Amino acid sequence: MIKSWKSILLAASYIVGSVAFLVGSILFFPRFTADPVTYGFAIALFIVGSFLFFLPATYDWWTNYNLLKTFNLPVIPAVATPVKPKVVSPASPIAGAEVSTDGSCNGELTYMEEETRVVPLQLPASYYLENHAVSMTRSTISVFNGILFIVGSVAYWPTFNQLLLGNWTYRIASTMTCLSNLWAIYRTFYPSHNPPRVILLTRLFHIQFLIGGLGYFIGGFLFLFKYQIHGAIFWIIGSTFFITGSLQLLIM
């Protein structure tokens, strides 16, 4: 599948941001945070990563907003479905056919008539509007998450040293990431116009981002209770799943 340059850039933004999160998480081990320069570099990586997650989320929000603003319920085309040939009994002859005295029509016992019935497509028009509305809601959550991650990262900066604020904003953002991706996974089981391969890849993508969000949520709690090594490990796990999920965007 040939990807557009916009899709590649958006995927690249997530990939580079995830790598920044991964390296920053590694540098959050106590042996590295003891050095102020290394600690500052780790925070800078988290700020960069958060901003790179924020950019595609904002683009998605703007795209969904414009689509929703100009959205009209599509006229669902009808499809002609061939129906089993209809058998017409002698009691109801076809116009123009002659019925003989023995009850046959034109000398035959039955007359075959081809019939075509028009049936609507399975998905209602409101399905497309609902899809746009859900995408708009989820992209809004993603934008808010990006802002929270940026604020949380800046709060960790040595000049401010608001570790508690940074920890809480990270955990709120990761919680919303988990809920948003859970919602997305649930919706992949809805009837869809997408082919099965796309549905499966979409589900897998959101599962990986769900695990990534859980990694940051658990890691934040561990940092809060001074389990810095364990917290960094969970952030590394979360970042790794962000990377694999982001790479998958290139084949979706």
Beta carbons within 10 angstroms of residue 136's beta carbon: 19
Alpha helical stretches, state H, the chain: 5-26, 30-33, 36-69, 125-156, 163-187, 196-224, 228-248
What's the pLDDT score for residue 124?
A: 63
pLDDT at 91 over 50: no
What's the pLDDT score for residue 252?
A: 73
Which are the contacts of 164, defined by CB distance < 8 A and separation ≥ 6? 224
pLDDT at 115 over 90: no
Tell me the two tokens of residue 153: 């990262």
Instruction: For residues 201-215, give the mean pLDDT.
Output: 95
Tell me the two tokens of residue 63: 């795209």
The pLDDT confidence band at residue 80, using thresholds 50, 70 and 90, is very low
Instruction: For residues 148-159, give the mean pLDDT.
Output: 91
> 51 vs 121, which has greater pLDDT?
51
Instruction: For residues 194-210, give the mean pLDDT.
Output: 92
Tell me the two tokens of residue 208: 């990986």
The pLDDT confidence band at residue 125, using thresholds 50, 70 and 90, is low
Which backbone phi and psi does 195 adopt, to 5 degrees? Answer: -70, 155
The mean predicted confidence, pLDDT, of the chain is 80
Helix 125-156, helix 163-187: angle, nearest 10: 160
What's the pLDDT score for residue 192?
A: 77
pTM of the model: 0.74
Residue ranges per structural domain of the chain:
5-74+123-248, 78-120
pLDDT at 116 over 70: no
CA distance 17 to 206: 17
Percent with pLDDT over 70 in the chain: 76
The pLDDT confidence band at residue 228, using thresholds 50, 70 and 90, is very high
What's the pLDDT score for residue 122?
A: 54
Least confident of 99-103, 121-125, 136-140, 172-176: 99-103
Exposed/middle/buried for residue 107 (C-beta within 10 Å: 0-12, 13-18, 19+)? exposed
Q: What is the largest CA-CA distance in the chain?
A: 108
The alpha carbon torsion through 185, 191, 197, 203 (nearest 10 deg) reads: 0
Residues present in the chain in total: 252
Spell out the long-range contacts of 91-96 with Cβ–Cβ below 8 A and sequence spacing 24 or more. none
